[in-house]
Amino acid sequence: TSTTGVIRNISHSNRTNCEALHHSGVTEFFIWRLRSEANLSTNDETCGSQSAPFSRLPHPSKPWREASFRIASSLINMAEKCNDCASRCANDDDLIYTLLESWGGKAVYEKHTCANKFPVL
C-alpha cells in the first residue's frame, strides 16, 4: 500500500514521470493487479441476480482495498499525462469501468443499467 501511494504521488507531478512509469511497465502491472482474482468480489451482486459487466474493486473487508484504490488513482493520473498509458487504458472497457468505480461512478452506472439498460458511457 505504501509503494502504491508513492507511485500515486509521483504520477501527480509531470508528464516525464508518468511516461517513465509507463515505459517501466507500471501500467501493465497495475492493470494486472486490478484484475487479479484476489480483487474479484464474489459476494457482491448488482440488479438482483445479475452481476455487473466489469471487474469490481475489492470488498471493503479485504485488506488490499486501499492499495487497489491507489493503483486505480495512479492509472488515472498517468493516463492524463502519458498518451501511451491513456491509449492502453482506453482500449479496455472493463478497466474503464473499474476506474470509474474507483471514482464513485459505480452507483451511477448501476442506476442506469438497472433502470434503463443503458450504460452511462
Q: What is the reported pLDDT for 102?
A: 86
Q: Which three cell numbers, joined as nine digits, stand for 11?
A: 504520477
> Among 109, 33, 97, 28, which Cα is nearest to 65's?
33
pLDDT, one tens digit per residue, over 10-61 is: 998 899 999 999 999 999 999 999 887 545 554 444 443 344 444 467 877 8
Q: What is the reported pLDDT for 74?
A: 94
- Residue pair 42/59 in contact by the 8 Å Cβ criterion: no
pTM of the model: 0.72
Q: What is the reported pLDDT for 40?
A: 55
> Among 12, 3, 2, 24, which Cα is nearest to 75's?
12
pLDDT, one tens digit per residue, over 67-112 is: 999 999 999 999 999 999 999 999 988 888 888 888 876 665 555 5
Q: What is the reported pLDDT for 52?
A: 46
Residue keyed to cell 482495498: 65
